[in-house]
Amino acid sequence: MDIHRIREFELEKVSLIEEFDILQIVGEGWFGKILLVEHKATDTEMVLKALPKPYTSLIDFYREFHYALQLGKHKNIISVYDVAFETAGFYVFSQEYAPLGDLTSNVSETGIGELHTKRVAKQLASALEFIHKKGLVHRDIKLDNVLVFKSDFSRIKLCDFGETRPVGSVVMRRNEWLPYAAPEILQVATDDSYICDTCQDVWQFGIVIFVCLTGCLPWQKAANDDPRYVRYHSWQSSSLPIIRQPKLFKLVSTKAQRFFKRFLEPNKERRPKYLKDVYRFLEDRWMAKGMEKTNETLNEEDGLCPSMYSFHSSPQEKNKLLRTLTEYGLETTVDRNAKKDRIRKWIENSVIMEEEESFEEELDDEDEPKVSVRTQTIMNVNRQKRHERRRHFVENRRRTKTEQPYRPPVDPRLPLQMQKTCIESRCSNTAKEEAPKKIVNVLPFKNVSIEPGSPPTTSSDSAISSDSCSTVRHTTDEVGREIKISEVKDLIHNRLKLV
């Protein structure tokens, strides 16, 4: 089958809650949600990638699913099952589960070590070679898209083919993650177009390997306003030994420096288009002597080793946190049933409301051809199951009718300037809605008016109402009347005494 011919087919409509037990929300981003689920019928754990319909065209979904399915034959590329469907709000396909997460959650501040880095480099280069031979460019090589299946990194797999395009395709520059973007891409203005090439994957490959080896990003972005990159560019392009070596590259050996100079070549014309030369560097020593265990002795004024990864999956950090929580008497166990209920409610609230469908056509079986008793029985059972699923769907939709549908904050496909305009307009609308409250609204009387003019001398004189005045006057009259009655009583009593 031609890999460049995108297969299109009719997607079956499925109720996510009825077909799967949702165990965990693995991740959530601009373009989708990653869910760890268990299929109820087969008790099989799998990962579902759900792409929201408002921001994902059907052809984009078909493209990503097609490339992932075709490229998954390679041992170092994630296996995608031939299962794709749609729900009320998402396009969904399934893939295998990576129990140890991605490289982001496995790289510490000192990297993963030379041995493990070489294993990652060998497997990742093999996966990219396979993709490039198919005439494709991945365009999104980063720590988050490299999944780990074994703790010794002997089995890693590349994933996420949402940005994959054929070599030579004209694409728009959007919101690329700056630390991984090649310098020729950063020279293109946002929303302008450029031609994608395999040498851009080679650059991103070099960044990933550098982070695995040292635990640090070499720079924040490959542009002239980044001092680290400017220093590297000057050192990389010069053949004179007097040029000061960047401090980060002192962590690695001379042969490893040649490795990075080759694959992190700023000039795209001189940068390799393929990774076949990686294997000849694997036998060399990569870490400089004395730098195998730590790189904490190096510090730069502008900040070394920017934090671009998480420590939440580190066993040491987890045990330390759990111990602290236990000491203070805090519960550290998870109620899985309550967790499932919260996830189920979240999924139900994410459903995009649609018009109710008419099911009368399916009930009408007058035009159906004559079939055997066995076939008719099977059809009746399937029809009953289908009606039951739809009945549950309608009930769930009625229960969540008042809930807001899932809407990502801003459409990431819009040009950057338009995204900023949307955000600014939303903020201004929010500010208008949240108008400051007037003091009249919080006064104790309903019919209160504030008199303009000179300021009151006391706080009690600041607000006068007709209701309050009448109340005070009425109270004063009653007090006076009681005083007069008391005086009359005293007078009569005294006169009686005289008599």
Reported as a single tens digit per residue, the pLDDT across 195-248 is 999 999 999 999 999 999 999 999 999 999 999 999 999 998 887 765 678 888
The confidence score (pLDDT) of residue 366 equals 45
Whole-angstrom CA distances from 67 to 1, 4, 76, 163 are: 12, 8, 14, 10
Contact 78, 159 (CB under 8 A): yes
The confidence score (pLDDT) of residue 432 equals 56
The confidence score (pLDDT) of residue 149 equals 95
The confidence score (pLDDT) of residue 458 equals 46
Q: Confidence class of residue 190 from pLDDT cuts 50, 70 and 90? A: confident
Is 140 annotated in the active site? Answer: yes
| Residue 23 three-state SS | strand
Q: What is the CA radius of gyration of the chain?
A: 35
What is the β-pairing status of strands 12-13 and 80-86? parallel
Contact 84, 65 (CB under 8 A): yes
49 annotated binding-site participant: yes
Backbone torsions φ then ψ of 428, nearest 5 degrees: -65, -40
Q: How far apart are CA 279 and CA 162, in angstroms?
A: 28
Domain ranges of the chain: 101-327, 444-492
Reported as a single tens digit per residue, the pLDDT across 338-359 is 766 666 666 555 544 443 444 4
Catalytic entry in 102, 140, 144, 197: 140
Contact 95, 79 (CB under 8 A): yes
* Whether pLDDT at 194 is above 50: yes
Task: Concatenate the DSSP letters of all residues of 158-191 into one string.
Answer: E---TT-EETT-EEE-----GGGS-HHHHTSPTT
* Whether pLDDT at 489 is above 80: no
Reported as a single tens digit per residue, the pLDDT across 124-152 is 999 999 999 999 999 999 999 999 999 99
First to last CA, the chain: 131
CATH of 101-327, one of 1.10.510.10, 2.60.120.1570, 1.10.10.10, 3.40.630.30: 1.10.510.10
* Whether pLDDT at 312 is above 60: no
The confidence score (pLDDT) of residue 246 equals 87
Name the burial class of residue 476, with classes exposed (0-12), middle (13-18) and buried (19+) by CB atoms within 10 angstroms of its CB: exposed
Contact 147, 167 (CB under 8 A): no
